[in-house]
């Protein structure tokens, strides 16, 4: 009986620790959707501030804002987000046309896929990348990103140059890119066919 009594406090502590860890895990998982949808008024103010800070010709734009809203603000991410012009030039997405009717679902699917190529699950600030060196990391989809810095102190990711660096939203670091970062297979699926160009 003495042995049983001496093990009880240890067993109670172990059970208490396990239950506490399990509760913390459940609460953090349940909290993620709230963080991504967030309070609409607060989110829009912050997104407006980011858009204004990005400058007149380097706007994040509606598609960029939609991508940012897909991620929880309270987790550390780096997102290499295409500029407003890059969405239109590279993906032929136009706010007035691409978010209307049946096209809205296709646009959302494209943005989700682009997000998987352009998000890294930790912070990469421009100061952490040394000129002449390259950081290799995996995006959320497993797509390899090669991050370097050019002579103008701008980041270059897979040959795509940044327009603005180190914007912040919550725990996220946002770099506005000059073009859309995507894998070759996806790029071919969203680009117009060569036949259309020849007609």
More confident residue, 11 or 140: 140
Summarize pLDDT for 99-114 with one digit per residue, the tens.
Answer: 888 888 888 888 999 9
Work out the average pLDDT over 10-30: 71
- List all residues 6 or more positions away from 178 whose beta carbon is below 8 Å from its beta carbon: 83, 86, 160, 161, 162, 163
In 3D, which of 39, 79, 42 has the Cα closest to residue 63? 79
**Residue 42: per-residue pLDDT:** 37
Give percent of the chain with pLDDT exceeding 90: 33
More confident residue, 147 or 108: 147
Work out the average pLDDT over 35-44: 35
Among 86-95, 137-146, 179-188, top mean pLDDT goes to 137-146
Q: So where are the chain's domains?
A: 1-37, 39-198
Summarize pLDDT for 155-177 with one digit per residue, the tens.
Answer: 999 999 999 999 988 889 999 99
CATH class of segment(s) 39-198: mainly beta
């Amino acid at each position: 009986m003495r042995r049983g009594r001496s093990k009880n406090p240890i067993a109670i502590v172990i059970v208490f620790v396990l239950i506490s860890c399990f509760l913390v895990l459940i609460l953090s998982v349940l909290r993620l959707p709230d963080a991504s949808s967030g309070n609409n008024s607060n989110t829009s103010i912050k997104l407006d501030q980011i858009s204004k800070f990005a400058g007149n010709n380097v706007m994040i734009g509606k598609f960029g804002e939609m991508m940012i809203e897909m991620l929880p603000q309270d987790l550390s991410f780096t997102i290499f987000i295409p500029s407003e012009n890059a969405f239109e030039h590279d993906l032929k997405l136009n706010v007035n046309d691409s978010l209307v009717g049946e096209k809205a679902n296709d646009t959302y699917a494209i943005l989700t896929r682009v997000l998987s190529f352009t998000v890294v699950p930790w912070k990469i600030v421009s100061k952490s990348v040394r000129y002449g060196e390259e950081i290799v990391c995996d995006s959320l989809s497993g797509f390899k990103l090669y991050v370097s810095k050019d002579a103008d102190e701008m980041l270059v990711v897979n040959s795509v140059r940044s327009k603005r660096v180190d914007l912040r939203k919550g725990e996220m670091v946002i770099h506005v890119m000059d073009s859309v970062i995507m894998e070759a297979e996806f790029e071919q699926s969203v680009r117009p066919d060569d036949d259309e160009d020849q007609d």
